[in-house]
A and B are shown apart, each in its own frame.
Chain A
Amino acid sequence: MADRIPASDPGLLVMISLAAGPRHGHAIMLDVAAFAGVRLGPGTLYGAISRLEADGLLAPLAMEGRRRPYRLTDAGLADLQRRLDLLDPLLATARQRVPAR
């Protein structure tokens, strides 16, 4: 029985985490574990961060010690909104077809 969100899109999870405000890598990891029950490995997390940064969806802030916070860019926020919009009809259809308990 699945009780977790599939971690098939770490980038989406990172963007959802950053939608609440700037966070550094470790804080993102803890946040994603808290809201999705998914433990992102360090390689997976920084793979997603580097990809999102290269795509201009998140931006680095000034280093805080050895940690660097990231924030969603406007493009990142728009991309996240678009992704959620794509999920809406999927969820709506699923809720129609699956009887409520």
Chain B
Amino acid sequence: MSRVLAAFLSGLLFGAGLLVSQMSNPAKVIGFLDITGSWDPSLAFVMAGAVAVFGVAYFSSKRRTAPLLAAQFAMPSLRSFDLRLVAGSLIFGVGWGLSGFCPGPALVSCAFGDSRVWVFVAAMILGMLPYRLRPRPRSIPSQA
């Protein structure tokens, strides 16, 4: 129960940060990406604030062997650089620039009463399926 509560509070605080910083405002995001037009550099400060705080929290956790409410830290897998990382991020950026939405702000905006947000979220979820559900080779041969 405390794990669920911690995750809920994290999501709530995360969303509050997106709201306060206006990262949840697509026009503001596009203003940041529009470097050749009327540029609004604000979101670089969102990034800087978030990276600094999380960076301190992450590196100060190195002294611990386990988090407070779980058996171990789930370190992201140490995949090396590959085409998927670069291609996926480039594709994501195109969608981000077309809409002004990345996943977090889109979810926060669901309650803003604009049905176009739901259209975006539904399409985003649909877009997640092909790569997630792709057929993967089995690590153990099915027949000896």
Partners in one complex: no
